[in-house]
Amino acid sequence: MTKRTLIVGNWKMHLNTSQASLLLHRLQERIRISRDIEVVLAPSMLVLQPLSLQIDRRKFRLASQNAFHKDDGAYTGEVSFTMLRDLVHYAIIGHSERRIYFGEDHSMIRDKVAACVRNEITPILCVGETQTERRQGETRQVLHDQIATALHNLTAKEVENICIAYEPVWAISTFGGILAKPDEAEKEMKFIRDQVRRLFGEKAAKRVRVLYGGSVDDQIVRGYLEIEDCDGVLVGGASINYHKFSGIVDAAYSLQREKEA
Ligand code: PGA
């Protein structure tokens, strides 16, 4: 089974309803329907509903950037995955901004991953080490702990369908944006797949989609998409720039065409 390349745009807390609608309109005109590439947009929670009415489902899927792990109840200010299940295919879980700014810890992230799966939403679990952890040689330990705890409640079959994004915190534009070269990213992405193999077996390791994220734009995306273990990219800053994001999707098309030739 060949996997579709996944291009995910995390719009973070940018774009109000009309700006989001305009960007979707422009992307919709430009981006073609493809069997091999799946383009996913993660707008703010507020904008998910209007975009779900506007979106061409043959071209795009929607993701939430977060949600609460309980399905329903007295949790002022929260939105549950149950409420989102008809709107989104994917949810970004454990993003470093959520871990760092909102104190999301291993157990919260594990509960959110489980809530996604329970509600038939595919989690895009973000993992990655900080600059300090990297300097202290703790990258592998951090990745191992983040993966093992987040997937703790899942079966091998459930893990087959999820996505794991390797996002070194130091490479994300928010936290410094130092480029992680493709060969550096490649080693850790392979390690992530090896962890899935060790914990859930060969089939889960083959099928799980491993993405790269951290300052990806149209100029450098190809280097990551060429990595054998890379099934796609998670894009932040460049995803709200029409030219950069459509350039990223174009790069994925070109690579796909070259592979088929
Ligand atoms: P960036 O963000 O592309 O702006 O570095 C990536 C992310 O936050 O997922």
pLDDT in tens, 96-130: 999 999 999 999 999 999 999 999 999 999 999 99
- For position 1, what pLDDT does the model report? 55
Name which residue sits closest to atom 7 of ligand 1, judged by CA. Answer: 236
Residue type, 247: G
Is 233's C-beta closer than 6 angstroms to any atom of ligand 1? no
The catalytic site residues sit at 95, 167
Q: Which atom of ligand 1 is nearest to the CA of 214?
A: 5
Q: Please, what is the angle between helix 106-118 and helix 139-150, to 10°?
A: 40
Among residues 19, 81, 87, the alpha carbon closest in space to that of 55 is found at 87
| CA distance readout (Å), 232 to 40, 81, 91, 140 | 11, 24, 15, 21
Q: Is the CB of 234 under 6 A from ligand 1?
A: yes
pLDDT in tens, 170-207: 999 999 889 999 999 999 999 999 999 999 999 999 99
The arrangement of secondary structure in 5-260, i.e. its CATH architecture, is Alpha-Beta Barrel (3.20)
Q: What is the pTM of this model?
A: 0.97
44 Cβ contact partners less than 8 Å away, ≥ 6 residues apart: 11, 12, 13, 14, 15, 20, 65
**Protein residue with least CA distance to atom 9, ligand 1:** 236
pLDDT above 80 (res 2): no
The mean of the pLDDT values for the chain is: 96
Tell me the CA–centroid distance for residue 201 and ligand 1, in Å.
30
213 CB within 6 A, ligand 1:
yes
Q: In the chain, where are the structural domains located?
A: 5-260
Ligand 1 atom 8, closest CA = 236
Pocket of ligand 1 contains residue 51 by CB under 6 Å: no
- The protein residue with its alpha carbon nearest to ligand 1, atom 1, reads 236
Percent of the chain with pLDDT over 70: 100
pLDDT value of residue 72: 98
Whether the per-residue pLDDT at 76 is higher than 80: the answer is yes
Q: How far is the CA of 185 from the centre of ligand 1 (A)?
A: 15
Of the pLDDT bands very low, low, confident and very high (cuts 50, 70, 90), residue 70 is very high
Question: pLDDT per residue over 239-248, tens digit each?
Answer: 999 999 999 9
Rounded to the nearest angstrom, the distance between the alpha carbon of 213 and the centre of ligand 1 is: 6
Round to whole Å and give the CA distance between 138 and 72: 38
Q: What is the pLDDT of residues 15-61, one digit of tens each?
A: 999 999 999 999 999 999 999 999 999 999 999 999 999 999 999 99
Rounded to the nearest angstrom, the distance between the alpha carbon of 261 and the centre of ligand 1 is: 32
Place of tokens 């939105």: 79
Q: Give the position, in ligand 1's atom list, of the atom nearest the Cα of 126.
A: 9
Between the CA of 180 and the centroid of ligand 1 the distance, in Å, is 12
The pLDDT-based confidence of 259 (bands split at 50, 70, 90) is: confident
Mutational pocket test of ligand 1: of 101, 215, 239, 248, the residue with most ligand atoms within 8 Å of the beta carbon: 215
* pLDDT of amino acid 176: 84
**Gap from CA of 172 to ligand 1 centroid (Å):** 5
